[in-house]
Amino acid sequence: MDMRGKTVLITGSTDGVGRYVASRLAAEGAHVLIHGRDAVRAKALIDNIVEVGHRAPTFYQADLSSMAGARELAAAVTQDHPRLDVFVSNAGIGSQNDGPQRQESRDGYELRFAVNYLSGFLLAHLLLPLLKAAAPSRIVNVASLGQHPIDFDDVMITRGYSGSRAYAQSKLSQIMFTIDLAEQLKGAGITVNALHPATYMNTTMVRAGGVAPMSTVEQGGAAILHLVEGDDVAGRSGLFFNGMNEARANPQAYDADARRRLRALSLELTGLSS
């Protein structure tokens, strides 16, 4: 995909791999919509991009730990843009960020499930009209190889909680949603794919978790850019990638009944079912 003149929204793009991808796409001529909670970080990114002679990104500040924050972001983007060529759902919190204890979002949902999965689920649905207007267009969900099956009797993990389990459940949920949405959008000209960009990239999230980085932001960014603009994935949808290569996710991702249950729950929790 030639990115010149394309409009791309990347959540969680004022730091880490999202920042790298935003900078690269701006250099390729895309109009990049960056998102984050920190306006100071956003200004630094915009200044860096403008300084080297590229079009200034547009910053949208939103807290995706609440469904209201996700709705406000979608409304702002929709008000400003008639079409959206690519949506990269990258915002998230790691297994140990903000501590290992169980936390809840403003809506009362387990925090990692809310931020890493539900906000992206809601945004994707609310942005579908813009993505359809730009077809062929793409949705890229930044997931992980760390995946844990969903216990539908305790989705919010009120028993036996651990940050790593919560993170891994949220990431598998993203992949299940990817497969599910790809099936729903067959024939609409919108592809939906998910990926594990790289293992323990040198990002704030990884370092905050006390983990020694094993790969670079550039490696993970290249994998995301592959799904954003690669010709070899044009028209391919509902897939999970490990870096540059197609891979298999946790078996629950391919369980149609589990995906149906997750879809129904997600529609209810995000208010889309009404």
CB atoms within 10 A of CB 205: 19
Determine the 3-state secondary structure of 197 from DSSP. Answer: coil
What's the pLDDT score for residue 95? 77
Rounded CA separation 118/198 (Å): 22
The arrangement of strands across the sheet holding 7-10 comes to 58-61, 31-36, 7-10, 86-89, 137-142, 190-196, 239-242, 245-247
Instruction: Give the pLDDT confidence of 156-207 residue by residue, as tens digits.
Output: 999 999 999 999 999 999 999 999 999 999 999 999 999 999 887 777 666 6
Q: b/e map of 33-60 (b: 16 or more CB within 10 Å)?
A: bbbbbeeebbeebbeebeeeebeebbbb
pLDDT given at position 213: 73
Distance CA 183, CA 82 (A): 25
Mind spelling out the 3-state secondary structure of 162-175? CHHHHHHHHHHHHH
Ordered structural domains, the chain, with CATH: 7-269 (3.40.50.720)
Residue type, 21: V
Residue-level pLDDT at 214 = 73
Question: Is there a catalytic annotation at residue 200?
Answer: no
Cβ atoms 140, 197 nearer than 8 A: no
Tokens of 11: 């959540």
pLDDT of residue 212: 74
Residue 208 has what pLDDT? 66
**What would the two tokens of residue 204 be?**
């704030």
Alpha helices, H only, 28-118: 39-51, 67-80, 111-112
CA distance 190 to 187: 8
Q: What angle do CA 84, 90, 93 make, to 5 degrees?
A: 150
Q: How far is residue 143's CA from residue 47's CA, in Å, rounded to a whole number?
A: 29
Per-residue pLDDT at 98: 62
pLDDT for 260 equals: 98
Q: Which one of the listed residues 109, 167, 200, 254 is annotated catalytic?
A: 167
- In 3D, which of 274, 193, 273 has the Cα closest to residue 241? 193
| Nearest-angstrom CA–CA distance, 208 and 16 | 12
- Ramachandran class of 66: left when φ > 0, alpha when ψ lies in -120 to 50, beta otherwise: beta
Q: Which of 69, 47, 52 is nearest to 60 (CA)?
A: 69
What is the mean pLDDT, run by run of 10 residues, along the chain of 274 residues? 97 96 98 97 97 96 98 98 98 78 96 98 98 98 98 97 96 98 98 92 69 84 98 97 98 98 98 88
Is 213 in contact with 219 (CB distance < 8 Å)? no
